[in-house]
Chain A
Amino acid sequence: MSEKLKLAFYWAASCGGCDVAVLDTDEKLLEIAKIADIYFWPVAMDFKYKDIKALDKDFLDVCFFNGAVRNSEQEEIARLLREKSKLMIAFGSCACFGGIPALANLYDPEEILSWVYSGSFSTVGKNGTRPLTRVSVPEGELTLPEFYTAVYTLKDFVEVDYFLPGCPPPPELILGAVETLVSGVLPPRGSVLAPDKTVCDQCPREKQDKKVAAFRRPHEVIPDPDRCLLEQGIVCCGPGTRAGCGARCVQANMPCRGCFGPTDGVVDHGAKLAAVIATTATSKDENEAAERIGQIVDPAGTFYRFGLAASLLRGKSLKEEN
């Protein structure tokens, strides 16, 4: 490649972990730096939106966009970066499927604002003040981004070329993705840059017939390190979650939380997880089955922990943005 790759990184509704994951590539980051120039990376470098606006269309080779889209500013930058980038990559679970922030879709915006600005125990001055998108002050008009009624995935607003899931994506997967992009031999557009198998495929634990007598939370048991966690009653999302993480959580005695999202064969990640977990708790006795299912704490938050914004129902209530 004669010219260096032109890259951009952006964070929208996210925790910053995805940016740290880029740094987690350690010294390999320097190799990336040899083959690439970074034009935009708000968390690490001082560029302004106007710098991006000044670029030509498709000037950037690749934009790594992490975070979900929760407000009008994030949508605006997503559209801007899409215009300026040849390839748009949804980087991390939030950009891919909404991620943790999308659990807010279980609540109305009003419920959220009311909790944050008056309900929560740490709120000071509970005088009902709410953020406004516009306010006039003597110096002129001040604006804030509009808070959307729901959290969205990147794909809901712009075309996404590739998806790199994970909370955050592990360094090996990031480097693999960069290598693929540098190689010029690109997978079909819309591909997920991770294997189309499930975590169980990479999980070394021994699996048998899945019959769960009682569900337990991870802190309530000391699991057998060699046996399937789900068979031990720990809700593990491995059977329905895309591989690519190396099954790291399960090897540390923690169940899979589902951050890689579903395989290509699944439409609704949470529904599938609920289905497979429910089948492990089957009983001829309806009450017994109900009791077992009742032991699963926060099913919506467990099965849709990362995928609510990309699910069929998308949240508690589906509302169109104006």
Chain B
Amino acid sequence: MPDVRIGVYVCHCGSNIADKVDCAGVAEFAGGLPKVTIARDYQYMCADPGQDLIRKDIKDHKLNRVVVASCSPRMHEPTFRKTLESAGLNAYFFEMANIREHVSWVTEGREQATEKAKALVAAAVARVFYHEPLYERFADMNKRTLVVGGGIAGIEAALKIAASGNQVVIVEKEPSIGGNMAKLDKTFPTLDCSACILTPKMVAAAQDENITLYTYAEVEKVEGYVGNFQVTIRKKARSVDMDKCTGCGICYNKCPAKVPNEFDEGLGMRKAIYVPFPQAVPNKPVIDRQNCTYFQKGKCGVCSKVCPTGAVDYAQEDQLVTEDFGAIIVSTGFETLDPTLGPQWGYGRYDNVITALQFERLVNASGPTQGKVVLKDGTVPKRVAVLHCVGSRDLNFREYCSRFCCMSSLKLAHLAKEKTGGEVYSFYIDMRAFGKGYEEFYNRVMEEGIHFIRGKGTEVIQRAGELFVRTEDTLLGKYREVPVDLVVLNVATVPRADAEKVAQTFGIQRSPDGFFLEAHVKLEPLKTATDGVFIAGGCQGPKDIPDSVSQGAGAAAEALSLIEAGKVKISPVVASVDEARCGGCKACLALCPYGAVDFDDEKKVAVVNEAVCKGCGTCAASCASGAMGVRHFTDEQILAQIGEVLAV
């Protein structure tokens, strides 16, 4: 190894660091550290003159290692790595000491801050001594994108990518695309008919030659890595030949088996062979085998007999197809909290307590009552209560705010007023009208004569056949029981029940609330821990329609920026196995969150797929043989760093 020559640069960051840290003192201290050839302090290392300083010193002083003491590596590590590269040094001969976020911004007193900065600089110098040159590699990028979940976010993403001329496949587990938005009657704040604005997009997706729809299908397995995913998709047996079916509807008109309709939130009935809703895309039926007389009892066969094109195919089986994709957009949406979890809300115990989505179906012209808001006994309610925050902002259920329910509750209150002409009560904690036109909508609904009660509707009780909503009216400062005929629970938005399975399939992490976790809460809302896998819409957290659409379009941009680049960069900071040392205990295999570690049955050693590995180090930490290591985070480097931090 040639003589190690380290340059140390202490940044003032204007006054951000220099106000608390004696930068010149730290530089002087660094100058006396072993192997340090030159140490300087400077106003702004990240600015061009600062970088030029490094480049010049590399040339003049033959530096082969560089330490910059400044901000977080999350900010400027890429900047300085490029500086080294432009001066002909390997980018990984660089180490950053964070003396801003870790020192000047959080340390009391100039003396302590300066001492701490010295310790971190000494640690960085000790570490960089052991750095090794590492090289980035590139892999080809498949230009096809997989969109998982055909709600509004997924549809938007697919349309945007298709418009660029690239191929998209949408996998939707229901028989039709459309997602939660398809169930809504109106949308706030404009009171547009939800179907009227959604169905053109659904139809456009179906007609786009660059989009392939796999409805009634689910992703079984994802292998590979960014640019080169191999995805196995289960196309569930529809029992209807899609090519022969014309969507005439005779089959479901004649089908004798009736079951509660999921699309109407269980309020209406559908047949065993059905399309979920009139505007479904594709508008072709599917047989629900669990409830089909033919499949359960072996006789009936009415649908097959009446079908004019012979499209009904009872022998159809699930099909597994494996296709290649370069990027994946997961837009699997959300569910709503099971309202029976809170018996105090009365759902399931009293007849006329329903959820917000059930109310949407009631007011919808294609819903079970053709748009009439009626009680169980068929009469029109005179008093309707809309409860906000049912299970949201509630430590017993979900701590978070479900974000759009204030606005959707206002919309429901408006619709209830419009449809019943009765008294409408809105029980709220605070009114969160955060979006464009939302406050105006709130004002409008207030003017409609809705009774706003500032208090959470905590309990629904029934006395002598009459429903009462209990609340603490915080404006009046007293408990109230408000008699009503119909209670609408705007229940919390929650992750889908299969979120964990989906997360594992795609290598996505989840935040404590159970939603999918983005790479950075502020700056990377669409990326995930797995390169090439993006998230959009309600699967990431509660979102209203415009936000979901924006995220869908954003995720499309993420995918397209990979596709257009044509190649994907593979970081060299990955795990590697010393095969001579690995004992083959297999402890690391199941631990890898990215499925990057495999086992070579012949050599009996672990193997790392470098393109999949993110360098998180879980395997290396667990590897008791010491065979597994992470490049750029070797024991030698880390111990040298810790040693200096503790020594100063």
Residues of A whose CB lies within 8 Å of any CB of B are: 196-201, 207-211, 228, 230, 238-241, 243, 262-267, 272-273, 275-276, 279-280, 282
Contacts and interface: CB of A to CB of B under 8 A. Distances in A.
Interface in B573-607: 578, 580-587, 589-591, 604
Contacts of B639: 267
Interface string B612-647: 000000100111111101000001000100000000
Main secondary structure of the interface of B (DSSP, over half): loop
Interface residues of B, number: 24
Contact of A263 (B587, B590, B621, B626): B626
Centre residue among A210, A262, A280 by max chain B CB count within 10 A = A210
Contacts of B623: 272, 276
Contact of B584 (A207, A211, A240, A275): A207
A230 B587 CA distance: 10
Given A198-B583, A239-B625, A266-B624, 10 more contacts: A196-B581, A198-B581, A198-B582, A201-B584, A238-B583, A239-B624, A263-B626, A272-B623, A276-B585, A279-B587
B624 A198 contact: yes
A267 B634 CA distance: 11
Given A196-B581, A197-B581, A210-B585, A279 B626 contact: no
Interface of B: 578, 580-587, 589-591, 604, 618, 621-627, 629, 635, 639
A200 B583 contact: yes
A238 B590 CA distance: 18
Nearest to A303: B624
Contact of A240 (B586, B621, B624): B624
A243 B581 CA distance: 10
A238 B581 contact: no
B584 A266 contact: no
Contacts of A197: 580-583, 625
Ordered nearest first, which 5 A-B pairs have the shortest CB separation? A265-B626, A240-B624, A198-B583, A200-B583, A239-B585
A207 B585 contact: yes
Contacts of A208: 586
Contacts of B635: 265-267
A273 B626 CA distance: 11
14 contacts: A197-B580, A198-B585, A210-B585, A265-B581, A265-B625, A265-B626, A265-B635, A267-B635, A275-B621, A276-B623, A279-B618, A279-B621, A280-B587, A282-B591
B622 A209 contact: no
Centre residue among B591, B623, B624 by max chain A CB count within 10 A = B624
A211 B590 contact: yes
A265 B578 contact: yes
A238 B578 CA distance: 17
A263 B585 contact: no
A210 B583 contact: no
Given A210-B590, A211-B590, A265-B578, A199 B626 contact: no
A211 B586 CA distance: 11
Contacts of A230: 585
Centre residue among A241, A264, A265 by max chain B CB count within 10 A = A265
Contacts of A210: 585-587, 590
Contacts of A198: 581-583, 585, 624-625
Given A196-B581, A197-B581, A239-B585, A275 B622 contact: yes
Given A196-B580, A263-B581, A267-B635, A240 B625 contact: yes
Contacts of B629: 265
